[in-house]
Each structure stands twice: as structure tokens, then as C-alpha cells.
Structure 1
Amino acid sequence: MMMMHSTCIWACLAILASLPALAISAQQIMKPASASDGVLRSAEVLQGALWTDSGNCEVDEEVPRNSQCLLQKKAESLDTASRKVLGGQRVEVGVGSGNSKLAFTPTQGKAGMLSAALVDEVCSEDFYSPSQLETDFHEHAIAWTQDKIGLCSHLGQSAKQWLDQNKAGILTGETTSVFSRLCKKDYPVQLLEPLAGILRDPRFICNDTSEFMLYSIEWLLLADGEVRRAGSVPSKHLFFDAGGSHFSDALSFFTSTYQQRGIVFDHIFAWEAKNQTYEAYWTDVPAEVRQFWEPRVTFYNGVPVTAETGDQNNPVERVYELCSPDDFCAFKLDIDTPLVELALAQQLLHSPHKTAASLDELFFEHHVEGLMEDYGWKYSTNGTYLDSYNLFSALRHIGVRAHSWI
């Protein structure tokens, strides 16, 4: 992890200015004399937009207007999650190990084989370069995500190139432009999947709306052991899972995929608001897998994630506390509570220097208006796909491998 150049700071802040949850305009962020001063001033503006002078969050009247309104409420999380549907069908509540639990669907498909690093190309400076596909979708974010015809026609052949190359692990000819590039000085050039379409598998909706496609992870390009600076070895590998209902849901995918890609986590911190038996958390996990990972997992059972500054159950605070530039740290944020999720995402953007020095990779399911409302997002949206593009792009400009999640 590297500290970013001042040019990256201004690129991030310019993008961040358009996010609706912050309710500010680009004119409110003025470039001061120094980069450090700019970070400070912008943070003040952003904080003022999210919190009132008295420290209360600006939320719906039904929510208590005090510092606790940023707490992930257990009932809210469960109610939102229970609305997840597949092709209009509700995901039913099941029973496991004596406790009621939500029947979340694990990831579908096989992780891509494409290397995240071009080891023969070393970066001379910090920058983020979106692919042409990403640039085009960013410029036409609203129009191109309004309906199936517009979405699929503009993804076109790029979607096939994207999936084929990632699955085969081979870049071919001019189609390398499908992937975006991230650079940190003295590190290899890194590749990422483009921020395009509805930020899921590009075959979903265009090809079919099956459960497999809805939860497919075959489009994601995760970090691997080659993204580190030549000759350096991370002192720690840490993973933070906000919304870790069961190990078999997402962590099974993350741990096995990262391990295949040369990264084995020394420790995992997982929060889940819904209280359950300890055994329920390890349901459907093979004995040998559990034996390896159980000593490495700290599971906060029945503990909601919070966005309160300084709180030990604020995963961003834990990332800042435990991760250094020599470590590899990844964070999955998916608690289906937009109020808290956006506050945590904004916290990462408000402290770009700390974020750049602490966090390597982020996965976040940002629920927004549009085509996904028919597939589980109807009751929990905040913003548009343009806001999603802006959010993930800003984080990538900071130096974080930011991905949409399922």
C-alpha cells in the first residue's frame, strides 16, 4: 500500500463531490494551497453534509436522531435481507442448527484465472486509468442502465472478452483495453475488471436471470500475490467481513480464491447482526476447511456493525488500527443497511491518506435505483448507478482495488 500523489487526491475529491448522499456540489470543494490542506477542508465539507452541527445524522423521522442512528439495527438488516428475490421470487427463511436463519445463496461459478499484476510493467507514479468500456459507461451511466436493451447493446462484445479473458487467465491482443489499470509507484501495474453495466456479471439480465448469474463471481478480478512491490513481503494478511452471516456464504469463496492466488489470511474479523449458535456459523463447511480457518476467525456473533468513529465494531476503524502499508488488507461490506454502509464508504473517502496506507481491496454491494430493483433491491436503494461509478472510481483513484459485490 502506498500514499497517493496530490493529483490522485483531487481526482478523488472531484468524483466524490457528485455523490448524492453527501449533498454537495463540485463548487464546494476548492483546491487550496497544499494537498494536505485540501484533504482537511474537503473532509470538513463532507462531514457537514452527512452530520448536523449537533452530531445527529440526517435520517428519516422514524429513526432516532442521535449518534446511534448510524448503528446497524438488527431488525432493519433482517427485514431488508429477507426481501431478496430471484426473478421475482422471495428467498425463503430456513432453519439451521436450532436457530432461524436467512437462506443466503453462496457465490456461484469459478473465480477468474487472470493475474491481477503485469509483473513486467512497473509503475513510475500513482494513477488510475479506466478502460474505454468503463469510461463510456461512466459518461452515460444513467441512460445505459435504464433498460435491458440499452444495457446489453452497449456491453456488446466487450462483455464476452471480459469474461473469456478473466476465466482463461490470458490477455489477448487489443482486448486488454477491457480491463482498467491501477498504478502505485514502484509496484507492478494492476488490472481490475471495468466499472461497467450494472456492476455484476455482464451476462446477468442480458443472457439470463438465473440464480447462477445473479450470484456469479466469474467477472471479478481479485488481487493476487504478485501485486506487491518487488522484493517486499507483507507482514500480515487480514480480511474484514461486515455482514458475515455464515462462513460458507462469502468467506468460503474469499478464503479459497485468495489462497489459490497466493494470499492466505492470517486473521479474519467477521460481524453479523443476527444472533445465532456458534455452530450455525460453520454450517456446511467441510471439517478440514473449518479446522484450518476456525483459529483464524474472530466472529462477532449478534454484533451489529457501526459507523461510529472510534468504535471497535466500526470495521473501517479496525482497518486503520490493524493494517499498515506493509500488510495486505481486504474488506467486504454487505450488511443491507444503506445508512451504515454509505457512512462507512464515506469514511474511507474522507481519510484518503489513511485509506491508501491501510486498505488494499474492497467489496461493496451498493444498492441503487435501476434494473436490480426487480432482483432484490427494490426496498433498499440509495442513489443511482452514476453514484456507484463515482464511489468505486474515487476509491480506485485513492489506490484501493474497489469492486462491486453481489
Structure 2
Amino acid sequence: METNKYNLTYFMAVNGCTRESVASCETGSFRLRPTGRRLFYDLGCSRYRDSGEISISGGYGSSLPLFQRLYARNCIEFDAMWGWEAQKFDRDEWMRPVPAHVRAKLTFHNEPVTDENVFRTLRSTARPDDFVVMKVDIDSPALEKRLVSTLASTPELVDLVDELYFEYHLHVPDHRKATSEHTTPDTIVEALQLMQRLRAAGVRSHFWV
């Protein structure tokens, strides 16, 4: 396969096919709790277009079906999903390509992400015994960092989120061109420090593109 920044062949999500999953957190004792649900929160979901591809990231297409396939490959089926997209769509048109079995468990918010609406939804729908995956990719660097920093510093939220994917806008030319804000990106050191805080708190955290 051609090498590019969207290559997901290295991807290692939580594996639900075995009794225990290897964790990236300090304790190394992460487990999928049998009593909990499997939940996915997609911040920046774009359209729903299922290409059937699982080797390249959402930069090439829709992230909702991509994450469904990636986790299904590891024996994890999401019981419920929430998606946010700021670009306005006709709701019926957006939902048309969504399979019926997915539509039944998908809540689509066709509105911009804010600190309030995301964390309010998370607190009202997730429980500590659920397995929660969150993807943050809304091309708004200041808001994205504020959301993830709030998560890292709030024990209540850390207890809810198990795995995080974050498109961190670093000091890289390609990333600056893709953003909607003219802000100075963080350095690689600052990015690693924030990800380390999340991992030390027990959130499996991954950079996303």
C-alpha cells in the first residue's frame, strides 16, 4: 500500500476479541466491562459515506462508518453513536445512505461543537461502566484543544472516556492549511505533554489525521 499520512495499517484499537485488552495507561489493566455498553462520540463526522475501506483515516472519507468497521474488526459493535457536524445538511438527505440498523442507534447533531453540548451529552448518556470512544476533529484548533484539555483535567469526564482520537494541529504546514483559524499551532512537545496527561489518567489516547 502506498505510504501516506492517512495510512491506518498501524492502527491498534482496543481488542474486544480476547478476555483482556492491553492498555496504554500506567496500570496496564484496561478491560472491556461486560455489563457496559459500547458508545461512540464523533466530533466532526461529515457525511455518512461507507466506502468499505479500513486502511485509511477519515481524511479520505466519513469517519462514522470507518470507526464502526475498525472496532467491529476487534469484536466491538457500538450500541449507540452520536455525531456532530457544523456544515448544514438537509437531514433527510444526510440520513439517506445510513443503513437502517445504524440509523436506529445514531443521533446526528447538525450543529457546531461547543464545550457545553458535547460534555452535556456525554454526561447524560454515558456511565463509568460503558466503553466510550471519542474522536475530536472539527478543524477548530483552539476549541479542540480546550475540549481535550478539559477532559484531561476533569476526573468525572476521564471516568467516562476510555479511548480518544484527537487531530492535534501541530506546527506542521499541512495542518495549518487545513484549519479554519489563523492561530499559532502548538509544538510537538506541547502535544505530547497533553497526550501523556490523558494516558496517565487512563484514557487510551491517539493522534488522528
Q: Fold-level match, TM-score > 0.5?
A: yes
What range describes the TM-score normalised by the shorter chain of this pair?
A: 0.7 to 0.9
**CA distance in structure 2 between the partners assigned to 1:291 and 1:361 by the alignment:** 26
Larger radius of gyration: 1
**CA distance in structure 2 between the partners assigned to 1:306 and 1:401 by the alignment:** 23
> The residue matched to 2:99 in structure 1 has which SS?
helix
Gaps of 5+ in 1: 1-108, 110-209
Match of 1:354 in 2: 156
**CA distance in structure 1 between the partners assigned to 2:166 and 2:176 by the alignment:** 19
CA contact (8 A) 1:336 1:380 kept: no
Q: Deviations over 1:116-150 (max 9, x none)?
A: xxxxxxxxxxxxxxxxxxxxxxxxxxxxxxxxxxx
**CA distance in structure 1 between the partners assigned to 2:4 and 2:105 by the alignment:** 31
**CA distance in structure 2 between the partners assigned to 1:218 and 1:375 by the alignment:** 25
Task: Tell me the amino acid that sits aligned with residue 365 of structure 1.
Answer: E
1:340 Cα offset (Å): 1.2
Alignment of 1:201-280 (within 5 A): 213-225=4-16, 226-227=20-21, 229=31, 232-248=33-49, 249-280=62-93
CA contact (8 A) 2:139 2:178 kept: no
Change over 3 Å in CA distance of 1:242–1:374 after alignment to 2: closer
State how many pairs are aligned.
Answer: 185
Q: Are 1:294 and 2:107 matched, yes or no?
A: no
Change over 3 Å in CA distance of 1:280–1:379 after alignment to 2: farther
1:373 Cα offset (Å): 4.5
**CA distance in structure 2 between the partners assigned to 1:217 and 1:234 by the alignment:** 30
Change over 3 Å in CA distance of 1:229–1:334 after alignment to 2: closer
CA contact (8 A) 1:255 1:265 kept: yes
**Relative to total residues, which structure has the larger helix share, 1 or 2?**
1
> The residue matched to 1:320 in structure 2 has which SS?
helix
Task: Tell me the amino acid that sits aligned with residue 340 of structure 1.
Answer: L
**CA distance in structure 1 between the partners assigned to 2:197 and 2:143 by the alignment:** 19
1:401 Cα offset (Å): 0.6
CA contact (8 A) 1:239 1:268 kept: yes
**CA distance in structure 1 between the partners assigned to 2:197 and 2:206 by the alignment:** 12
**CA distance in structure 2 between the partners assigned to 1:374 and 1:240 by the alignment:** 25
Change over 3 Å in CA distance of 1:282–1:216 after alignment to 2: farther
**CA distance in structure 1 between the partners assigned to 2:102 and 2:64 by the alignment:** 10
RMSD: 2.5
TM-score normalised per structure 2? 0.78
> The residue matched to 2:81 in structure 1 has which SS?
strand
Gaps of 5+ in 2: 22-29, 50-61
TM-score normalised per structure 1? 0.42
Q: 2:112 aligns with which of 304, 307, 320?
A: 304
> The residue matched to 2:83 in structure 1 has which SS?
strand
Q: Deviations over 1:237-289 (max 9, x none)?
A: 11111111112311111001111211111111111111112244357x5xxx6
1:371 Cα offset (Å): 5.4
Change over 3 Å in CA distance of 1:380–1:277 after alignment to 2: farther
Q: Deviations over 1:296-322 (max 9, x none)?
A: 110012x11112xxx3x2x23332332
Match of 1:344 in 2: 147
Match of 1:363 in 2: 165
1:221 Cα offset (Å): 1.2
**CA distance in structure 1 between the partners assigned to 2:187 and 2:82 by the alignment:** 30
Task: Tell me the amino acid that sits aligned with residue 171 of structure 2.
Answer: E
CA contact (8 A) 2:152 2:158 kept: no
Q: 2:124 aligns with which of 311, 321, 339?
A: 321
**CA distance in structure 2 between the partners assigned to 1:220 and 1:372 by the alignment:** 22
Task: Tell me the amino acid that sits aligned with residue 208 of structure 2.
Answer: W
Match of 1:53 in 2: none
Runs of 4+ in structure 1 displaced over 4 angstroms?
A: 377-381
CA contact (8 A) 1:242 1:332 kept: yes
**CA distance in structure 2 between the partners assigned to 1:334 and 1:374 by the alignment:** 14
CA contact (8 A) 1:246 1:280 kept: no
**CA distance in structure 2 between the partners assigned to 1:242 and 1:216 by the alignment:** 21
Task: Tell me the amino acid that sits aligned with residue 37 of structure 2.
Answer: K
**CA distance in structure 2 between the partners assigned to 1:396 and 1:219 by the alignment:** 19
